[in-house]
Structure 1
Amino acid sequence: MSTEIRQSDLRNDNAVIMRRVAAGESFVVTVNGRAVADVVPQQRDTGRRAFVPTADAVAALTSTPLSRSDARRWLADIRQDDDTPRDPWARQSSGA
């Protein structure tokens, strides 16, 4: 649960409030009684990578080889579908 504080309290007691946030507390900052900001602890690293190194991607993609029949079916499926981008707002000719 967040503690409500006025902007002036945040300004005047900044160091104290930041120590409390670092300890895990959250605050809702108000101006003239209206909530304008949340001061919350920084989210911790979840351990998930923001990127995948090339070597890892190549290893993952090559670790499950497709059989030739799988490749042929995939290629036939791709060729069969018409995924041509179309403008949804283009006027259709009504023929009239």
Structure 2
Amino acid sequence: MKIITQREFRNHSAAVMDAVEAGETYHITRNGTEVAELRPLATRRQPTTEDLIAQHRLLPRIDAAAMRKEADEFFGSEDRVGDDDPFERA
């Protein structure tokens, strides 16, 4: 961690930002008092296909009939347009 003044930050902001991007943390002072911390953000990596497949396998199975029954109980079945399920497998 480095401590710099507000003036130093203003005059050398590009170099300070380059250092922060490289992992350095700065405390910025005004009139001798620390007022801010400038640090790199924690970066998240993009999940790989394998990560997504592993997460998908952990999801619970869905019982379509139970979900339809629950939706009918909540919303009512009289307003349903049709009972044909375009996603039903033969």
TM-score (norm 2): 0.51
* CA distance in 2 between partners of 1:46 and 1:37 (Å): 27
Match of 1:24 in 2: 23
* Unaligned residue ranges in structure 1 (runs of 5+): 49-55, 66-96
* Unaligned residue ranges in structure 2 (runs of 5+): 48-55, 64-90
Match of 2:33 in 1: 34
| Matched residue type, 2:36 | A
Percent same amino acid among aligned pairs?
30
Q: CA deviation at 1:60?
A: 1.6
Q: CA deviation at 1:12?
A: 0.6
Could you say what secondary structure the match of 1:62 adopts?
A: coil
* Moved >4 Å (runs of 4+): none
Residues 72-83 of structure 1 aligned to structure 2 (within 5 Å): none
TM-score (norm 1): 0.49
* CA distance in 2 between partners of 1:8 and 1:62 (Å): 59
Match of 2:11 in 1: 12
Q: CA deviation at 1:61?
A: 2.2
Aligned length: 56
Match of 2:59 in 1: 60
| Matched residue type, 1:32 | N
Q: CA deviation at 1:16?
A: 0.7
